[in-house]
Chain A
Amino acid sequence: MLAVTTNPRIDPKKRAVLDPRKRQFAKAQWVEQEYAHRMNFYTTPPTGDISLEQFEEWGIARLKVLAELEACQFRNKPPAETEEYMRPVLEKHMRLSSTRSRSSETAMERKKDHYSHWSLRLAFSGTADLRQRFARLETQLFKLRLQHDDLAERRAFIDSLPMSWETVTAEEKNLWLDELKAATGFSSMRGDEESWFKVDWEMVPELVERRQVLLKRGKAYVHVREQQTMVVNEFSRRLEAGLELAARFLPRMDEDNRLAPILHHLSQSFVAPDAGYSESSSIGDMASINASSIDALSQHFPLCMLNLHRELRKDSHLKHYGRLQYTLFLKGIGLSLQECIVFWRKSFKLLTDEKFKSEYLYNIRHSYGDVGGDANKRGRGYTPYSCQKLLTEALPSGGQSHGCPYRTYSPDNLVALLQNVGINDRELLRGVREDVGKQRYHIACNRVFETTHKNEIKKVKDQSLWPASELDTILHPNTYFKRGFLLKNLGKVQSGDIGVDVPTQMSE
């Protein structure tokens, strides 16, 4: 009953075709678009003709670029490194020359950029999850390109955008000069020569949140330097809205059976990397995992989980988010619901049975998908948290100990914690300190892993026991555990057991 209405709207393009008289004289609405700027806001969908092969090839090329961009993010590369890394990738798959280069290819390159964006937009509008990731990556790509645009061309591009900003007049600027400086923190600048813009504060929520902009009666006074951020935000906002719209129109596209398989294929190859967890990350078939074996197994845990385990043992209690993170991890390593309940019950030894039942049991069962809404049950509860999740969630406050310790602990406390769990290698600790200082938290974690499993990794490499991809960067606590466990039990592992799952990159 909630299906699409029986009377589908005819889109303007088709309507023109339907009326023969109009068709004869009308200027075709799908003429090739002119691309005046290198950058594109992708506001109008392409209307020209391209071959199916081009449709797919261009889509795949763009997908490669996005995948590499996401990989950079997973590896926590700082912007400068990402840029360095992305340059050859962009050059190879999605070259975009500047207008000044007078290359004969510019028109074609821009067309490819335009069309591929729209085909991927279609492919990834299916689920909220895909939409969100696509919007995030496209925004990053847009930002990356905008930063490298030729100065004059960027100016021209930005001026061509339909944005609602207003230049602050000289009088107004002088009036607020001190406040402008204080608000933005650009104390050294020569204020009178800089230009400022006035926009609705909703355009720059990040600046408002960080208190880096002057607000007056709902208007934000934005420095020209922040203009790029605003353009990027606007791009992101429109893309998200566009994706929502595309999602609603998607069901009506079914009549064209040529595109659907291509779109499906494109979106499939985008699904894999984020989750990074599958049932095979448990070691259930190799060792018995029950409530009483957790203590012994904890030696293989990554620091985030080991820390929770230690806190739990110390206080006989963990706060909500810590419990959630740890329960899901335990679920991931193959602890059954029954054993998990036993584990928590025993661990919270200061609690009465009644309190445990009324306040804690439900959450554990919910994590396993034993209770809760239909969707939760069908999905068998939540997925264990990935590093990305742990690194992006809100920081724990007093008394909480969830999250990634490499991020949540101050460097000194982190080093103390590492020493506490038996990591004393001075060189390693120095490296960790450095990584953490540069906010490369999970590189630090991988560094610890590689050092503590040095000998085993060497053996595996020398004897080529595992495919190289199995020793890739670790992006998931459960991968850390499983790989660590397997490495320490190399003798017992049969070659068939090497199912250490590393998230397959979408470029593969």
Chain B
Amino acid sequence: MPHAVSPESSQELPALNSEAEVLPDAPPTTSLDTDAQSSDVEEPESKQTNAAPAKLDELFDDDDDDEFSSSVQTRADDSSQPAPQAAPKAQYSEPETLRQFYQRLFPFRPLFQWLNHAASPQPDFQNREFAFVLPNDAYIRYQSFASADLFRKQCLQMTPTRFEIGPQYSMNPRERKTMRSASSFRPVMKELVFDIDMTDYDPIRTCCSGASICHKCWRFIVMAVKVVDGALREDFGFQHILWVYSGRRGAHAWISDKRAREMDDAKRKSIAGYLELLRGSEHGKKGLGIRRPLHPHIDRSLKILNPHFQTDVLADQDPWQSSEQAEKLLNLLPDKTLTAALQKKWDSAPNRSSNQKWADIDTVAEAGNLSTLTTKQLVDAKQDIRLEYTYPRLDAEVSKKLNHLLKSPFVIHPGTGRVCVPIDVRRLDDFDPFEVPTVTQLLQEIDDWDAKNASMSEEERAKVLDWQKTGLKPYVEYFRGHVATLLKEEGRGKREREEAGAGGDPMEF
């Protein structure tokens, strides 16, 4: 498999590559004296010369990607200069930190199995697109790897700040331009994915806005995960659902069931449509326009969401506290007499909390202040408001397309330095985004562990892997468990189909 030796990393990106190879594995105390070590630069190139002729096409191939490769070359120098030590933010995406992370902590093996659905490499992984975001912000698409080892190698060489996972294609993405007709290169399979992002909640959250989150608004994500996860399991019968913290203010879902992976765009679109309720931002007095009686999915979701509405929305968010905010609530009620009466009441007692205001709706209505609405319609309108304030706001476009790329689990969020760890939905309420370890913490934890267990014999110490010494351990273990169940089921399905002839080396590292 010559293409897998990732030629562009060695030839196209000389600066980056040499740096990656030059930097030693040892703790970062070594000074970045490039002159002293420049002789090593030759090494990676000579290592790969034997494979070079076979890879000519691919070189041309990637040269064609004008905007990416050129920007890499011109800007590679910046990243080879040591970043200022003081800036803590840039530290997360410093090549050295990243390389340590990929080398010592990143769970390549389970990730490979998760995407490959078998122990030995098959097209599910080999023809899958990865897109790398390099430290200089260059974005390289259509990377693919013959095995997890080669994938890991390229990560170490290029030290991407993050990478994204795309679909499996009908052929190796690196060879896409050798095909005469464009239609023979098409996506064939990918996990069904969902993206929930806190920015979509800005109209209804009061605690933060934009990129920031706090414990209060994280509850919106919790609600969303519960609802979506419930629907995926109960309605669609999916089992292999992995929820992943996106590193800052959202969550992703990856559904690996075979049936989900093989869906075409139309089916993805229909699932997204099934789950999407709040389209567009303004609904106003007309409500959400959903049918009564409620569809069982909405009904179940509402049952899940009701307690959250009381605690997380009314109490914690207090969304209608001020009179301007209360205006929003009044705008959602379609009865003039009712809103006028409420307005009057709240004007005279300005300090009522959202909780009280919500209760006021019923009291005022019972006092006979309904003109156009029946009691039933008021109940419906209140249901609509509850849904508006709690129902998941999905970024549906992500789910609709087979060829959409999504950030991989376990990469580092460049803004926060936190690892995009999987979330165990069984203990969803316990998940705290602020306790998710950052890369710098993790590397420190390894050193601390090593220092603490210095007395341990060499042999004993070798048994403990680096990730096991850190706070990443529970997450990796959860992920491995998830992958193991997936593989078990795949194996069952595969044995029924056929004995695959294509062998690959079972990988281990």
Contacts and interface: CB of A to CB of B under 8 A. Distances in A.
B is bound to A: yes
B60 interface: no
A208 B234 contact: no
A253 interface: no
Contact of A182 (B236, B269, B279, B299): B299
A3 to B, nearest CB: 9
Contacts of B266: 205
B297 A211 contact: yes
B237 A218 contact: yes
A76 B237 CA distance: 39
Contacts of A217: 234-237
A397 B396 CA distance: 13
A478 B319 CA distance: 49
Interface string B170-208: 000000000111110000000000000000000000000
A31 interface: no
Interface in B297-342: 297-299
A201 B237 CA distance: 10
Nearest to B291: A185
A217 B239 CA distance: 10
Interface string B230-261: 00001111100000000000000000000100
A383 B273 CA distance: 30
B274 A181 contact: no
B62 to A, nearest CB: 16
Interface residues of A, number: 26
Contacts of B297: 211, 215
A187 interface: yes
A183 interface: yes
Interface in A161-198: 179, 181-183, 185, 187
A216 B234 contact: yes
A71 to B, nearest CB: 26
Contact of A214 (B180, B281, B294, B296): B296
Given A202-B267, A208-B270, A187 B293 contact: yes
A216 B235 CA distance: 5
A287 interface: no
A182 B270 contact: no
Contacts of A18: none
A128 interface: yes
Nearest to B236: A218
B111 interface: no
A317 interface: no
Nearest to A396: B280
Contacts of B279: 397
A215 B271 CA distance: 11
A420 B267 CA distance: 42
Interface string A216-245: 111100000000000000000000000000
A209 B270 contact: yes
A2 B269 CA distance: 34
Contacts of A205: 266-267, 269-270
B182 A375 contact: yes
Contacts of A183: 295-296
Interface in A70-106: none
Contact of B235 (A181, A209, A212, A215): A215
A158 B48 CA distance: 63
A216 B273 CA distance: 17
Given A205-B266, A210-B273, A397 B236 contact: no
Contacts of A214: 296
Given A2-B179, A183-B295, A201-B236, A398 B270 contact: no
A206 interface: yes
Given A185-B291, A202-B263, A218-B259, A398 B273 contact: no
A465 B269 CA distance: 50
A206 B266 CA distance: 9
Contacts of A208: 270-271, 273-274
Contacts of A219: 237
Contact of B293 (A2, A181, A216, A375): A181
A181 B236 CA distance: 19
B490 interface: no
A182 B293 contact: yes
Given A206-B270, A209-B273, A398 B280 contact: yes
Contacts of A202: 259, 263, 267
Nearest to B268: A205
B282 interface: yes
A202 B264 CA distance: 10
A205 B270 CA distance: 6
Nearest to A373: B182
A184 to B, nearest CB: 9
A413 to B, nearest CB: 13
| Most interface-central of A128, A209, A214 (chain B CB within 10 A) | A209
Interface string A382-413: 00000000000000011000000000000000
A398 B234 contact: no
A183 B298 CA distance: 10
A218 B257 CA distance: 12
A482 B455 CA distance: 88
A182 B237 contact: no
Given A185-B291, A218-B237, 4 more contacts: A211-B298, A216-B237, A218-B259, A397-B280
Interface of B: 179-183, 234-238, 259, 263, 266-267, 269-271, 273-274, 279-282, 291, 293-299
17 contacts: A2-B181, A128-B183, A182-B293, A182-B294, A205-B266, A205-B267, A205-B269, A206-B270, A210-B273, A211-B273, A216-B237, A217-B234, A218-B235, A218-B238, A219-B237, A398-B281, A398-B282
Interface of A: 2, 128, 179, 181-183, 185, 187, 201-202, 205-206, 208-212, 214-219, 375, 397-398
Q: Which 7 A-B pairs have the closest CB atoms?
A: A218-B237, A209-B273, A217-B237, A209-B270, A215-B235, A205-B270, A182-B293
